[in-house]
Amino acid sequence: MTAQLPVRSFRSTSDSSHPDRWRTPLGIVLFGLLLLTGCGTKEIEAGDLQGAWRAILQSPGGELPFALVFESLSGELRAVILNGEERVSTSGVELAGTEVTIRFEWYDSEISARLTEPGRLVGQWRRTSAEGANTVMQFAASRHSESPEQTPQRFGDLPESIPASQAATKVDGDWQVTFRDEDGEEPARGEFEQQGPLVRGTFLTPTGDYRYLEGRYESGVLRLSTFDGAHAFLFQARATADGGLEGDFWSRDTYHATWTAEPLGEEDEVLPDPWKEVTLTNGDGLFRFSFPDVLSGDTVSSDDPRFDGKVVLVTIFGTWCPNCNDKAPLLSSWHRRYKAEGLEIVGLAYEFTGDPERDGLQIRRFARRHSLDFPLLLAGISDKKAAALTLPDLSAVRSYPTTLFIGRDGKVRAIHSGFAGPGTGEHHSALVAEHETLIQELLAENVGGPESDASPSA
């Protein structure tokens, strides 16, 4: 037995940088125990992982399940997370001794686990969070099938600790939802599709959506979850006698909220207009910025000649934000399609740690993942109040992403707060079409063309 574990990486990433898990004295002790327990144990091989697994994170609200698939493509071992119709890619899989590490480098996140026995993985999920703190949740997985196509049922039988509610037999449809935590209330729109006990859907909020949710509704109890390397969401609710729902929402390892819901009427609207959430604070219609471009090293400013007479999209984003990752491929596509017609795009990144080296690395990873070749500026930290202080021309930063549409005359023509991702179905399709139509209309204008009231064209 030696102290050097052989590492087999199934992806080469020349500038990957990950925290050293064994730097602390406790880490050294755990590493020693790992070596001792690994003595005489068969090293993990790709064949030990191939197939579909039922995985869980240990949430404060109980088990948070998801499907994990290991598959070999062209001789390369890959891992994919499944949430309903969503397939979440990972940035690499590494094997070292009895341990496997699954990386989500664009979220500065990873799962590390040991094969404790055939078909059984135990470990933890770690993610860098705001202000450099780590989210850590215990992880376990059991192999369901050697075939990647035979995925496991997400939730098992209803635990005895969750009392059944004898109420409505279905939650199919749209719901008016209110989430409550220590900071107050937030409205949301729940949209669920149910087939037998299987439920899929999402919650739309003023800032975005809660991703692809999947779970079960039985005996009057609704259970939903999702995991994508950045979010770890668990929802539980019981049907009430008046036809509503009430329950709990847990996010990652610390956040908790309660929520209630009632059926939504066809004409009811519960969310604010995302085109009116943020306004300009000045009377000249301009939006000013000046920050360093992580990709080129140059400072990029709103008054640079490159923007003269151009239509400019400014996206306020964070690499840690899944809805920002949802929107990035669209920005890349629009930039390629309309650049020759006079479209410029600029990203203002607000990151977790405030460490320029670490945050710059995450921005470069974001650019590679989505094939972005427009300026990505490191503008500040992710706290919304702190971000707003760096952008005095805006009334607030309500959500990530926020998109500003600037005409050829240099005036802000519209501001959209948030983004409905592909998990929202028709809402996503309609929003994408709305954004692209506005881009086309602005490109069709001449310099000095008609001004609008900072709302999208009808």
Helices 322-338 & 356-370 angle (0-180, nearest 10) = 60
Same domain, 126 and 249: no
Do 348 and 213 belong to one domain? no
Clarify whether residues 259 and 294 are in a common domain: no
Q: Report the distance separating Cα 445 and Cα 442, nearest Å.
A: 5
CB atoms near residue 242 (< 10 Å): 7
pLDDT band at 162 (very low <50, low <70, confident <90, very high): low
Whether residues 71 and 124 share a domain: the answer is yes
> What integer pLDDT is reported at residue 41 of this predicted model?
57
What residue numbers bound the domain in which 313 lies? 290-444
Q: Which residue has the higher pLDDT, 41 or 26?
A: 41
The whole-number pLDDT of residue 129 equals: 82
Asked if residue 415 is part of any domain, the answer here is yes
Q: 302 and 360, same structural domain?
A: yes
Whether the per-residue pLDDT at 5 is higher than 90: the answer is no
What pLDDT, on a 0 to 100 scale, did the predictor assign at position 169? 74
Q: Which of 28-32, 164-168, 214-218, 306-310 has the lowest mean pLDDT?
A: 28-32
Checking if the pLDDT of 13 tops 80, the result is no
Same-domain check for residues 319 and 429: yes
Q: Is 88 a member of any domain?
A: yes
Structural tokens at position 161: 């600790």
Question: Using H for helix, E for strand and C for coil, what is the string for the chain?
Answer: CCCCCCEEECCCCCCCCCCCCCCCHHHHHHHHHHHHHHCCCCCCCHHHHCEEEEEEEEECCEEEEEEEEEEEECCEEEEEEEECCEEEECCEEEEECCEEEEEEHHHCEEEEEEEEECCEEEEEEEEECHHHCEEEEEEEEEEEECCCCCCCCCCCCCCCCCCCCCCCCCCCEEEEEEEEECCEEEEEEEEEEEECCEEEEEEEECCEECCCEEEEEECCEEEEEEECCCCEEEEEEEECCCCCEEEEEEECCCEEEEEEEEECCCCCCCCCCCCCCCCECCCCCCCCCEEEECCCCCEEECCCHHHCCCEEEEEEECCCCHHHHHHHHHHHHHHHHHHHHCEEEEEEEEECCCCHHHHHHHHHHHHHHHCCCCCEEEEEECCHHHHHHCCCCECCCCCCCEEEEECCCCCEEEEEECCCCHHHCHHHHHHHHHHHHHHHHHHHCCCCCCCCCCCCCC
Residues 366, 222: one domain?
no
At residue 441, φ and ψ (nearest 5 deg) are -65, -40
Q: How many distinct structural domains can be found in the chain?
A: 3
Please state, as a whole number, how many other Cβ atoms lie within 10 Å of the Cβ of residue 65.
23
Residue 111 lies inside a defined structural domain of this protein? yes
Q: Give the amino acid at 290.
A: S
pLDDT at 24 exceeding the cut of 70 = no
In tens, the pLDDT along 308-366 reads 999 999 999 999 999 999 999 999 999 999 999 999 999 999 999 999 999 999 999 99
Residues 361 and 225 in one domain: no
Confidence at residue 165, expressed as pLDDT on a 0 to 100 scale: 62
Residue 54 lies in a domain: yes
356-390 burial by CB neighbour count: b if 16+ within 10 A, else e? eebbbbbbbbbbebbebebbbbbbbbbebeebbeb
Could you tell me the CATH number of the domain that includes residue 113?
2.40.128.120
In a domain, 276, yes or no: no
How far is 332 from 316, CA to CA, in rounded Å? 15
398: pLDDT confidence band, cut at 50, 70 and 90? very high
Residues 294 and 330 in one domain: yes
Average pLDDT over residues 16-31: 37
214-220 own/partner pairs: CB under 8 Å, 24+ apart:
214/83, 214/84, 214/154, 215/154, 215/155, 216/154, 216/155, 217/170, 217/171, 218/158, 219/158, 219/164, 219/165, 219/166, 220/164, 220/165, 220/166, 220/167, 220/168
**Do 134 and 203 belong together in one domain?**
no
- 190 and 103 in a common domain: no
| pLDDT band at 167; cut points 50, 70, 90 | low
24: exposed, middle or buried (C-beta count within 10 Å: 0-12, 13-18, 19+)? exposed
Task: Give the pLDDT of residue 423.
Answer: 94
* Residues 192, 234 share a domain: yes
- pLDDT average, residue stretch 210-227: 95
Contact call for residues 125 and 145 (beta carbons, < 8 A): no
434 has a pLDDT exceeding 50: yes
Report the percentage of the chain scoring pLDDT > 70. Answer: 86
Q: Residue 415: give its domain's CATH number.
A: 3.40.30.10
- What would the pLDDT profile of 40-91 be if each residue is shown by its tens digit? 356 899 999 999 999 999 999 999 999 999 998 888 999 999 999 999 999 9
Confidence of residue 447 (pLDDT cuts 50, 70, 90): low
**Is 281 a member of any domain?**
no
Residue 355 is which amino acid? Answer: D
Domain-embedded: residue 282: no
What is the number of residues in the chain?
Answer: 458
pLDDT of residue 161: 63
Task: Give the chain's radius of gyration (CA, Å).
Answer: 24
Domain assignment of residue 382, yes or no: yes
Chain centre distance of CA 33 = 34
